Amino acid sequence: MPSVEAVAERAGVGERTVFRQFNDLESLARSVHERLFPEVMALARPSPPTGELEADLRSLVARRARVFEHVAPFRRASRGHRERSPFMSEQDASMASLMRASVEAVVLPHLDHDDRDVVELIDVLLSFETWDRLRTVQRLDVTHAERALKKGALALLRRSAR
C-alpha cells in the first residue's frame, strides 16, 4: 500500500492536499473506483456468446487480459489494504460475481451436466490472481500469459465438454 507521501509525490501535490481531498484511505479507494469502474466496464463489455466454445473462450480471455492489465497497478498498490477495507471487499465481491457469471455463460452450455467443479477451476484459472502471478512471478508478457490461459481453459473444457 503506498504511503500518503508516495501518493502526494506521484500526484505532484503536497501531503496536506491529499489529506484535504481524502479523509482516509477508504475515501481514496472510493475515488479511484469512481474513475476506474467505467473504464473497466467498457473493457469488459462482453459480446453475446456464439455457442462456439473456442471462439467464446478466446473472447472471454482476451477481455479479461485487457481488464487485468488496466487494473493491475491499482490492485497491486492496494493489496495490503483490500482485506481491511469494507468498500474494497464489497467491490471485489461484486466484480467476482460479474466475472463468475461471464464464465458460466461461456462454459455451462458446453458441459454434459452442471459440472460445478469445472466451473470452479475455470473461474480460478481466469482470475486476476492467476493473471498477476503469470505476469509478475512467472514474468510472462501479455501475449504469452493470455495464450497460456486460453490453452489451459480449453484443455479443461475439452475434457469435460459434451
CATH of the domain at 126: 1.10.357
26-40, 127-141, 146-160: least confident range = 26-40
Give the confidence band of 155 by pLDDT, cuts at 50, 70, 90.
very high
SS3 state at 39: helix
Type and span of the H or E element at 50: none
The pTM of this model reads 0.78
Question: Residue 78 has what pLDDT?
Answer: 78
For the segment 32-56, the average pLDDT, to the nearest whole number, is: 85
Burial of 47 (0-12, 13-18, 19+ CB in 10 A): exposed
Residue that has been written with the C-alpha cell 497491486 in this structure: 76
Whole-number mean pLDDT of the chain? 85
Which of 92, 91, 94, 118 has its CA nearest to residue 104? 118
Residue 16's CB is within 10 A of a number of other CB atoms, namely 10
Query: pLDDT tens for residues 45-94?
Result: 877 888 898 899 999 999 999 999 998 988 887 777 777 888 888 888 98
Give the confidence band of 149 by pLDDT, cuts at 50, 70, 90.
very high
Q: Show the domain range for 17.
A: 4-160
Question: Residue 9 has what pLDDT?
Answer: 76
Show the cell assigned to 10. Answer: 506521484
Q: Which of 4-8, 54-58, 134-138 has the highest mean pLDDT?
A: 134-138
Pinpoint the alpha helices (H) of 45-141.
Answer: 53-77, 79-82, 86-107, 116-125, 128-132
Domain count, the chain: 1
What residues pair up with 111 in beta bridges, in sequence order? Answer: 161
Which of 35, 6, 22, 25 has its CA nearest to residue 84? 25
